[in-house]
Homo-oligomer: A and B are copies of this chain.
């Protein structure tokens, strides 16, 4: 008899389970239940629909040859039954049935299953913000004020786009400087809006370390965005039912459009009500086969908790790419195969104007919190041979465990090719690689694509120099702190006089590398000396010369002047 498989959720992971299962089992009786109207759409493309790069939201629901993935498509070309506008209200695990309700008609029906798949996705995490409408006394719900949006589904994206195209907004406030907040910022700026980002944390992009976050913030500011960090939103003020101002603990921002992008959490309510085990992150707990605590119920996508492969800890990684992998695994196992999902690397990539920002693994902050003894390299370098036309800068931060040399993570930002590097590091992290591996891997080389010593190889070599004690680093942030506290130290710039004249760090001392050996007497032996250059390769050479000549308190400033986000003299 045909297996009856019921899938709850039709956006990403659900349809993947259905399609893969159909390929494996031509007889299975497959049903998708989706609460919303739309099926199988690319949620990650929504910011680009808002921005206008993607003209019709339909495009997010089409196959590569332009066929719409609507219920009829699933029915006709795949033999998969779809009920949209239908939510599941209850799971009867003992009877192996779900109770479903059409949200338009209120009609209730039950469906029996041999296997149930929960693909209920994520829900918006909305912070506790008060709201008032100056035309009406008392508080209102912040979500009820006009032109206050989140970005979850197609309907949200349509509403924001409508506000833009109808020219109802001129000033936008984006609440939350995370991934979605940044993608939305780009879309709004490109549509001519003045944008303010409000981030409650000390730096934007908590998926990065702060030293990388500040570089992105500086870039974002250079694109005309007002970025405010360490500010907590307290209140929305509206007038005539529409938002007018956002009030924080530090200021007041006019706004006729507000996007709340403060993250997502797993939508595991249905699973919880059914008594399935929920993990510490709030996601549904699953084993490597994507089975929940009930062996006849699988869960996939943004509603589950997964393992972070780098540290083995439970994690929440709501990513369309992982949802697809999990869907495949669940389908194979339901079909009687044997397939595992090992976990994720918390890999992220996104576009911000002309920058690409990517990361994988753990940040320094995360790694330290977990008890790792952390070392890292910060390397600015061109993305291809520096002499090749069009070469663009990227900054790579590579992170490892001091004790074992094991790779822990990577962060890469800049206008250049970031993708290649994060693909290689994610792969190395998957295999549990060590820093030395990245010095050794034969990555292909030609001047239009890489330097003869690839950025990643450079970063690995710098990191090994640190791990093996040949180099002691100090972050720009730490140097700035010393400067602000008026601590005594020499900030030794070893670039050429020409480079120094064009731009320099206030208070730095210039001794070009080529003359250093002859000018050692100019340097005090009792003070800390911090060397740097453009990217801190010459800075490293200078530190070696100093140490060889008996200077004991010598450090190299990570990333050189290229990664210095503070005051500069020109």
Contact = CB atoms under 8 A, between A and B. Distances in A.
A411 B65 CA distance: 25
B351 A448 contact: yes
A165 interface: no
Interface in A412-455: 417, 419-424, 426-428, 430-431, 433, 437, 439-450, 452-454
A548 interface: yes
A239 interface: no
Interface string A306-320: 000100000001011
Most buried by B among A325, A439, A495: A325
A77 B545 contact: no
Contacts of A423: 420-421, 423-424, 427, 443-444
Contacts of A424: 423-424, 426-427
Q: How many copies does the complex hold?
A: 2
Given A321-B454, A342-B440, A45 B427 contact: no
B386 A64 contact: yes
Contacts of A319: 442, 445
A516 to B, nearest CB: 9
Interface in A499-536: 499, 513-514, 517, 534-535
A83 interface: no
Given A386-B64, A420-B420, A426-B424, A358 B433 contact: no
Given A64-B386, A319-B442, A419-B420, 6 more contacts: A64-B534, A321-B442, A321-B453, A328-B461, A351-B449, A422-B443
Interface of A: 12, 23-24, 26, 42, 44-45, 48, 53-54, 59-60, 62, 64-65, 67, 76-77, 79, 309, 317, 319-325, 328, 341-351, 356, 358-360, 382, 385-389, 417, 419-424, 426-428, 430-431, 433, 437, 439-450, 452-454, 457, 461, 470, 495-496, 499, 513-514, 517, 534-535, 540-541, 544-545, 548
23 contacts: A12-B452, A26-B545, A42-B385, A44-B446, A44-B452, A48-B388, A48-B447, A64-B534, A64-B535, A65-B496, A77-B514, A79-B517, A321-B452, A323-B452, A324-B452, A325-B440, A342-B440, A345-B441, A346-B442, A420-B420, A421-B423, A424-B426, A427-B428
